[in-house]
A and B are shown apart, each in its own frame.
Chain A
């Protein structure tokens, strides 16, 4: 049965060589994972929302409605791609592609299990934070190129929010880096051998989670795409799979942000009995569930409230936390 599979693999290995084959297989694996993860998260989101609102949610297509999002995905793919006439064509098409790139890159360095990061770079954490900035640039590009006031307003809000919340996010991650003494994600997990960092750094953990919710544009921080004010915010004019790419990027980003939180504060793949990768996925989806729970519980805040909260409370607290961490590490270690 697997004979022909083995033969094909050997043939491919012989013709293309191990380097090219590893590249292609790795890329395909990440892309498939991104799709499956997004389909599952959309289903989970609808189920969680439904149960919080005392409904049942999707249940017709497949067991527990699991195939509902697959059907929705097929619908999205088959829809027409509309480009509005006054839109700036080049940037309008480029934006959904650009928004998708930065969410793929973190999969290079995420430590799913002790031996599983594709490449354990010594600046892994910085890679993830650096490329999350591209996301904002892409949103801005799409919002501007749509030539639509709702899209532009959404894009401007998104940038203001992301710029504000990225600072406490980075500062809280830095206090963990000071404790672990490394920017390599593998080292950070290794440093949590005895105790998870959430115990030593509760303030940083809370700051990180709040900042991460804002970075992924989720309620109560969903002002860039606030349905009741801005139609759909920056992706108002997008249809079909271009809209689908924004959607995929958003849900993949959720996974990435939750994975980083797990790696920084909740011990990464560490856990008894099960292999590391199961613990990692379990923790990540548990955290995503909490984020969804928050989304369907709290109302959206006003724009000025969000800005004040970030600049006047979160950033000073994060700075103070970083200072105290550095002092304590100097005195103790």
Chain B
């Protein structure tokens, strides 16, 4: 008996199929994130696209970054966005049509970003991760963050700190204002 199907189902073929699937997730997710008018669809599209990006990290050989992508972007940020949307706007209302200048402006911005990234990609001398060498394990990433990229790391922490303090102040000020109004009414 000849191995009929085994010829087609090899690890390399499965890897290629998975890569195709990941690309599909990235692009389909990105399209869903911008085209539908229902904002809830947009967020789920964004989440799909980010899961695809995590898949790309796996193909680049960094499983840790892939997991972080899912944990932070899908698990926290996408959920926070959905949460904010749900609390801010009644979803059963008619979705207003798009404002045309806004659409055109977004198209121009996307085109500019696309072209500049395209130029960057075309002019970079790409090397395979294996050729460039070096280990990209968790320990190495941690060491780099605390030595070479320490300044960037601290700056990002600072931005986050500002955001958190801002959120607390906003919430506290709003809460106090509301409490004051309720007292006046009573």
Contacts and interface: CB of A to CB of B under 8 A. Distances in A.
Interface residues of A, number: 34
Interface stretch (A73-81, A118-126, A259-267): A118-126
A156 B44 contact: no
B28 interface: no
B155 interface: no
A17 B10 CA distance: 8
Given A15-B5, A127-B67, A137 B74 contact: yes
B4 interface: yes
Nearest to B7: A17
Interface string B135-164: 001100000000000000000000000000
A91 interface: yes
B138 A17 contact: no
A137 B82 contact: yes
Which applies to chain A's interface (DSSP): helix, strand, loop or mixed? helix
Contacts of B59: none
Contacts of B44: 91, 137, 141
Nearest to A136: B79
Contact of A17 (B9, B74, B82, B137): B9
A130 interface: yes
A137 to B, nearest CB: 6
B37 to A, nearest CB: 13
A290 interface: no
A107 interface: no
A144 B1 contact: no
Given A19-B14, A91-B44, A121-B63, A163 B76 contact: yes
Nearest to B12: A19
Contact of A132 (B47, B75, B87): B75
Interface in A1-29: 11, 14-20, 23
B10 A19 contact: yes
A133 B70 contact: yes
Nearest to A132: B75
Contact of B64 (A16, A123, A160): A123
Interface residues of B, number: 34
A284 interface: no
A131 B70 contact: yes
B1 A19 contact: no
Contacts of B1: 11, 14-15
Contacts of B47: 137
Nearest to A163: B79
Contacts of A23: 14
A159 B83 contact: yes
B160 to A, nearest CB: 14
Nearest to A152: B86
B63 A123 contact: yes
B79 A126 contact: no
B67 A123 contact: yes
A41 interface: no
The residue in B70, B75, B83 that gathers the most chain A C-beta atoms within 10 A of its C-beta is: B75
A186 to B, nearest CB: 15
A14 B71 CA distance: 40
A250 to B, nearest CB: 18
Nearest to B6: A17
B133 interface: no
The residue in A127, A147, A160 that gathers the most chain B C-beta atoms within 10 A of its C-beta is: A127
Contacts of B87: 156
Contact of B9 (A19, A91, A122, A156): A19
A14 B86 contact: no
A140 B6 contact: no
B108 interface: no
Given A19-B14, A130-B70, A134-B74, A140 B79 contact: yes
A17 B5 CA distance: 7
Interface of B: 1-7, 9-11, 14, 40, 44, 47, 63-64, 67-68, 70-71, 74-76, 78-80, 82-83, 86-87, 91-92, 137-138
Interface of A: 11, 14-20, 23, 91, 121-123, 126-127, 129-134, 136-137, 140-141, 144, 147, 152, 156, 159-160, 163, 166, 183
12 contacts: A14-B3, A17-B7, A18-B6, A126-B71, A130-B67, A130-B74, A133-B71, A133-B79, A137-B47, A140-B82, A144-B86, A163-B76
Top-5 shortest CB links A-B? A133-B75, A17-B6, A126-B67, A20-B9, A130-B71
Given A123-B63, A152-B86, 8 more contacts: A18-B6, A23-B14, A123-B138, A126-B64, A129-B71, A137-B79, A137-B82, A147-B92
